[in-house]
């Protein structure tokens, strides 16, 4: 005799509400992304704002100064790096067949690889144009993110009071605790990761310059960027530098491989313990999985926010699902 399965009204209502909730989240996904990016900016700038407040500078002025510092650093980096980067990258692609032939790769294979690089390089102007149009078309979104981050930084006290009025003091204390924990975790991770990428890139650049390896700037930037990918990132970033080194001479090839190995050891035993000691680390396997999922769902932006999204989910789930303090 078949068993009769009964579904309670509460289960049906909960399922329906949950489906509606998921649908609403999907419809406002752009707004959620903007809010999350604003929260990430807030977490990164908040330590600087806190330090400025110690010098009796008003909070609004401190936030404005933090914005100026951030934009100035970004502008200076772009102005100082991009021209040299473009020139060295173009020269690298032009001379790549010669380096690969010196290593022992057949001319046919090296020409095919170079052609692929040139094809991708040829699409850069179109990609830059599309990116520029996208930025202008989404300028309101960028402004909204910056304004929301500015509000979160300047009106933090008033926001807490408003939460108390809307939700009550008990709920307010819980949400403020979660906000503080999120800011601490996201800020520590972001600042630590950016610092680590910069230090690894700088150490690689200095080492390549001392060895006399050409195209040291793009190779160093590549090493810094791939630092975000555990395990395989440093290996991938080392391949073009080692190819160039062996393309010049076997001694330089061995020296270049040794340089990347040395930087990796310094990172593991010195840079990471010193730079990331305040940051709550994320397991490398989780980082790799998050990066893969982020890239699949949202491309480059997905890679940038993959780990912060995981940290946010971890904090919220521990607080509201597992009920951990």
> Which pLDDT belongs to residue 82?
72
DSSP string, 111-168: HHHHHHHHHHHHTHHHHHHHHHHHHHHTHHHHHHHHHHHHHHHHSHHHHHHHHHHHH-
- DSSP percent split of the chain into helix, strand, coil, nearest 5: 85, 0, 15
Helix orientation angle between 59-103 and 29-53, rounded to the nearest 10 degrees: 110
Q: How many other C-beta atoms lie within 10 A of the C-beta of residue 295? A: 15
Q: What is the DSSP letter of 325?
A: -
Per-residue pLDDT at 249 exceeds 90: no
Count CA atoms within 13 Å of residue 29 on its CB side: 6
Mean pLDDT calculated for residue range 202-218: 91
> Which pLDDT belongs to residue 259?
94
> Which pLDDT belongs to residue 129?
46
Of 19-28, 95-104, 235-244, 301-310, the one with minimum mean pLDDT is 95-104
Q: What tens digit of pLDDT does each residue of 95-147 get?
A: 766 666 666 655 555 555 555 555 554 444 444 445 444 544 566 777 788 88
Closest CA to 240 of 114, 75, 65: 114
Residue 199: burial class (beta carbons within 10 Å; 0-12, 13-18, 19+): buried
Question: Measured between alpha carbons, how far is 278 from 186 in angstroms, rounded to an integer?
Answer: 11
Question: Taking the model in full, what pTM does it have?
Answer: 0.70
> Which pLDDT belongs to residue 125?
45
**Which two tokens mark 47?**
């330590």
Band of pLDDT at residue 71, cut at 50, 70 and 90? confident
Count CA atoms within 13 Å of residue 206 on its CB side: 7
Share of the chain above pLDDT 90, in %: 7
Question: Measured between alpha carbons, how far is 99 from 102 in angstroms, rounded to an integer?
Answer: 5
Closest CA to 142 of 28, 41, 29: 41
Q: What tens digit of pLDDT does each residue of 178-195 get?
A: 777 877 788 788 888 888
Question: Measured between alpha carbons, how far is 133 from 138 in angstroms, rounded to an integer?
Answer: 8
Mean pLDDT calculated for residue range 303-322: 78
> Which pLDDT belongs to residue 139?
64
Q: Are 238 and 231 in contact (CB under 8 A)?
A: no
**H or E element, residue 182:** helix 169-211
């Amino acid at each position: 005799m078949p068993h009769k399965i009964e579904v309670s009204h509460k289960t049906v209502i909960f399922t329906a509400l949950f489906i509606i909730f998921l649908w609403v989240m999907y419809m406002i996904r752009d707004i959620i992304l903007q809010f999350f990016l604003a929260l990430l900016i807030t977490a990164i700038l908040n330590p600087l704002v806190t330090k400025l407040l110690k010098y009796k500078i008003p909070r609004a002025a401190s936030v404005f100064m933090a914005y100026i510092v951030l934009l100035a650093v970004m502008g200076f980096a772009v102005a100082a790096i991009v021209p040299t980067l473009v020139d060295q990258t173009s020269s690298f692609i032009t001379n790549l067949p010669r380096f690969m032939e010196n290593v022992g790769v057949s001319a046919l294979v090296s020409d095919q690889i170079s052609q692929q690089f040139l094809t991708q390089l040829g699409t850069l102007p179109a990609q830059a144009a599309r990116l520029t149009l996208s930025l202008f078309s989404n300028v309101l979104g960028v402004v909204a993110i910056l304004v929301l981050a500015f509000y979160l930084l300047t009106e933090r006290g008033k926001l807490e009071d408003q939460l108390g009025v809307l939700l009550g003091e008990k709920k307010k204390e819980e949400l403020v605790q979660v906000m503080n924990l999120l800011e601490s975790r996201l800020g520590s991770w972001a600042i630590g990761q950016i610092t680590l990428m910069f230090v690894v890139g700088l150490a690689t650049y200095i080492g390549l310059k001392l060895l006399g390896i050409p195209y040291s700037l793009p190779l160093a930037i590549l090493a810094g960027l791939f630092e975000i990918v555990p395990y395989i990132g440093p290996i991938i970033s080392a391949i073009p530098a080692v190819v160039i080194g062996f393309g010049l001479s076997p001694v330089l090839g061995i020296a270049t491989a040794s340089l990347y190995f040395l930087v990796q050891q310094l990172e593991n035993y010195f840079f990471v313990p010193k730079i990331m000691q305040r940051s709550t680390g994320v397991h490398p396997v989780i980082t790799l999985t998050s990066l893969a999922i982020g890239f699949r769902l949202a491309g480059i932006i997905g890679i940038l926010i993959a780990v912060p999204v995981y940290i946010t989910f971890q904090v919220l789930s521990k607080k509201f699902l597992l009920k951990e303090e």
